[in-house]
Structure 1
């Protein structure tokens, strides 16, 4: 199909080494399946103070023990999620030339021209490579598109989804902050839809499913991530030193802690390494809302003893980009230890 990225052609030099890639192959043997903690968020808005406080405790417990949890009755309607999925599928079915902007024809309307990503341009070996295509979208650009009357169905649907996702992220962040005895208004002052990002993902069928990652192991560089995925298994995370497979739940959103919350909480909440595995026969779709501050926001440990030196979000992003460019991998918070 002309919509498919040319993975095998572009990354031939990496893929021919697959017989020697034992590190990736062996990592796939260390898997268990799990059901992440499932938390009913409707209790936060009910009349029972007892249930509200119990819900908050469950959010805190999951964030401490897992760094991940599943949220049901989360306030984002199935109608909105279905509209997003419909637009997502339409987006990726467009020609590769149009998505990538390599052709002379029309580019994807309503999205910034440089938002499309595929593969891993910086990869120097197979375990640094991701078999995925995505649109990584600064939400400030979506707002600009709407204000300029470039009101595509896609941009309007994204706006509807991220408005709800931002509100949900604010609620979760404030609960986690209050548990630490820290200023919960920090997030309303520093994070908003226009400083956050949306990544719309597609994982095409892969002829080497036990050799190539859909998305290589990583932690997220934000405060919180809100993920909506389809029913094709693929997401895995590290728990107690082992890779475990997350069983998809059609009713739930997945919420996980990012690096900034780990730094801000002095390691009370953990940003957990996770990855996506490929599938030989099935494509997989997901979308992730990254709850981020403005670039000038200072991230400073709020609990003593401080573990990390203070840094701006701009500095953190720059350091990640430099490390990926020079080493092929993200180093992350280890760079900012005191």
Structure 2
């Protein structure tokens, strides 16, 4: 029997609403649209649960990193090991105040939870815009959509005009960027040292000039077993700093097992992906 399902039309209708995934929830949807349904049991042959995992991702303390040579060498060794074996690690005492981390999470959530008519102004797939808000950057290319809305802004090396940023999160985006860039420089120095290179090697290559800020929002789903907030993927970015909230959802594949990235208040996750791990 031939199906009359028009996926392209459903994608277009959803996108033109400019309401995002949260708009579906606000409308009281009880059954998620077909475009978000993921066929189950198509994952790699790995453990489906990390509840009983004996592994945990490396946690590295940056306290005193610039004050003690021996301590710094120890941190470099930990970074090297984490990169080689995990491709991801968690950082504490990194220099970015907890108040800043709390505020940017709060303000990004505030953007996503404001009135739809205010958000619609920013909903676009025009990559030339300084600030964009939409659901799934690859919405029309991906086989299945994921249950997530996202704001995106390239903050460096060419920062946006502040007036182009939403008022609800404008100031904290600028403040956070400054502190994240400083931390990114520190991490690039540690990576350079871990590779046996000069301190500024990666910086001189231009590896710490750019910073893109993404703020994901995962609305409560009426059928959580039918969709995903993030699909399996191998990141190939230089370094991505992910904010940690109080809800764990991030996992990393290690020795054929999915391991939870347990949130630590005030911590940051450095996710290097395949490129730097190699």
TM-score category by the smaller chain?
A: 0.7 to 0.9
Higher relative contact order (CA 8 A, sep 6+): 2
> Which string of whole-angstrom CA distances, capped at 9 and with x for unpartnered residues, describes residues 138-179 of structure 1?
114983313x69794622211111111111111112211222
| Corresponding position of 1:86 | 106
Q: Displacement of 1:202 after TM fit?
A: 0.9
> The residue matched to 2:230 in structure 1 has which SS?
strand
| Corresponding position of 1:145 | 161
Residue correspondences, number: 249
> The residue matched to 1:234 in structure 2 has which SS?
coil
**Distance (whole Å) between structure 2 residues aligned to residue 101 and residue 9 of structure 1:** 27
**Distance (whole Å) between structure 2 residues aligned to residue 77 and residue 118 of structure 1:** 30
> The residue matched to 2:169 in structure 1 has which SS?
helix
TM-score of the aligned structures, taking structure 1 as reference length: 0.63
Check if 1:170 corresponds to 2:185.
Answer: yes
The answer for unaligned runs of 5 or more in structure 2 is 1-18
**Cα distance change of structure 1 residues 113 and 179 upon mapping to structure 2, 3 Å threshold:** closer
8 Å Cα contact 2:31-2:222 kept in structure 1: no
Higher strand proportion, which one?
1
| Corresponding position of 2:152 | 136
> Which string of whole-angstrom CA distances, capped at 9 and with x for unpartnered residues, describes residues 56-104 of structure 1?
111111111111111110000012112212211211112344324389x
**Distance (whole Å) between structure 1 residues aligned to residue 63 and residue 98 of structure 2:** 15
**Distance (whole Å) between structure 1 residues aligned to residue 160 and residue 145 of structure 2:** 33
**Cα distance change of structure 1 residues 142 and 90 upon mapping to structure 2, 3 Å threshold:** farther
TM-score of the aligned structures, taking structure 2 as reference length: 0.75
What root-mean-square deviation, in Å, do the aligned CA atoms of Structure 1 and Structure 2 show?
3.4
> The residue matched to 1:22 in structure 2 has which SS?
coil
| Corresponding position of 2:60 | 39
**Distance (whole Å) between structure 2 residues aligned to residue 226 and residue 23 of structure 1:** 29
Check if 1:187 corresponds to 2:202.
Answer: yes
**Cα distance change of structure 1 residues 58 and 121 upon mapping to structure 2, 3 Å threshold:** same
Moved more, 27-36 or 213-222: 27-36
